[in-house]
């Protein structure tokens, strides 16, 4: 958020030192608190809420942590909230919700970013490519039986497209994928 302060002064007749002057007020600009974006107990951090390349990369790192967190719950709503128009985000969110409704859980599948080149910035959009490692993952039912599994993927290419939301003062995912 950028703040602007207007300062003005007068060099005409200065008051004598003994005369009463109005009390000084703080010229320090105040910053309004950012609205909470993301789960209340795992909000998007301030460093991921700047409209620049550093903010876009920080948001990607937050998003990967959020995917891991929500897979462990499992619950998809935070992914829907941050990627309302992202088809893959909606698919992953549905998988998490379906797993929860069926009494399933995920074992493994942790994500680790291997490489993140500088984001490509265009107006209110950021394009971030990345290399990612996904540990082997299993979907397990309530009795512990493996329903589905995927092997370790040590380094696959991925990408995320982000659009800046002025009202939320945050990035919103418009496209995401890896594999």
> Cβ atoms within 10 A of the Cβ of 30, count?
6
Supply the pLDDT for residue 33.
83
Average pLDDT over residues 49-76: 98
Supply the pLDDT for residue 64.
99
Write out the two tokens for 157.
């290419």
- Give the span between the Cα atoms of 149 and 144, in whole angstroms: 13
Average pLDDT over residues 68-83: 98
- Give the span between the Cα atoms of 54 and 40, in whole angstroms: 23
The domain defined by 46-178 folds into Nuclear Transport Factor 2; Chain: A, (3.10.450)
On the CB side of 101, CA atoms within 13 Å amount to 7
pTM, full prediction: 0.81
- From residue 163, alpha-carbon distances to 23, 43, 50, 102, 111 in Å are 45, 18, 12, 34, 23
- Taking the CA atoms of residue 88, residue 155, residue 55 and residue 126 in that order, the dihedral angle to the nearest 10 degrees is -50
| Cα 24 to the center of its chain, rounded Å | 40
The full length of the chain comes to: 179
pLDDT interval class at 76 (50, 70, 90): very high
E strand or H helix at 157, and its extent?
strand 153-165
Over the stretch 120-153, which tens digit does the pLDDT of each residue have? 999 999 999 999 999 999 999 999 999 999 999 9
- Taking the CA atoms of residue 47, residue 159, residue 77 and residue 32 in that order, the dihedral angle to the nearest 10 degrees is 20
**Residue ranges of the domains in the chain?**
46-178
- Give the span between the Cα atoms of 72 and 134, in whole angstroms: 14
- From residue 16, alpha-carbon distances to 20, 21, 79, 154 in Å are 9, 10, 64, 75
């Amino acid at each position: 958020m950028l703040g602007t302060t207007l300062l003005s002064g007068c060099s005409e007749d200065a008051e004598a030192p003994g005369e009463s002057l109005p009390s000084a007020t703080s010229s320090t600009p105040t910053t309004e608190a950012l609205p909470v974006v993301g789960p209340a107990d795992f909000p998007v951090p301030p460093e991921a809420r700047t409209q620049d390349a550093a903010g876009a990369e920080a948001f990607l790192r937050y998003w990967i942590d959020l995917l891991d967190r929500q897979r462990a719950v499992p619950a998809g709503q935070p992914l829907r909230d941050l990627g309302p128009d992202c088809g893959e985000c909606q698919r992953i969110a549905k998988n998490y919700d379906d797993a929860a409704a069926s009494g399933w859980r995920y074992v493994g599948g942790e994500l680790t970013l291997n490489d993140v080149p500088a984001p490509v910035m265009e107006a209110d959009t950021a394009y971030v490519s990345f290399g990612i490692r996904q540990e082997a993952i299993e979907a397990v039912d309530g009795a512990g039986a493996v329903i589905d599994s995927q092997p370790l993927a040590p380094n696959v290419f991925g990408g995320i497209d982000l659009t800046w939301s002025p009202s939320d003062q945050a990035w919103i995912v418009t496209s995401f994928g890896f594999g």
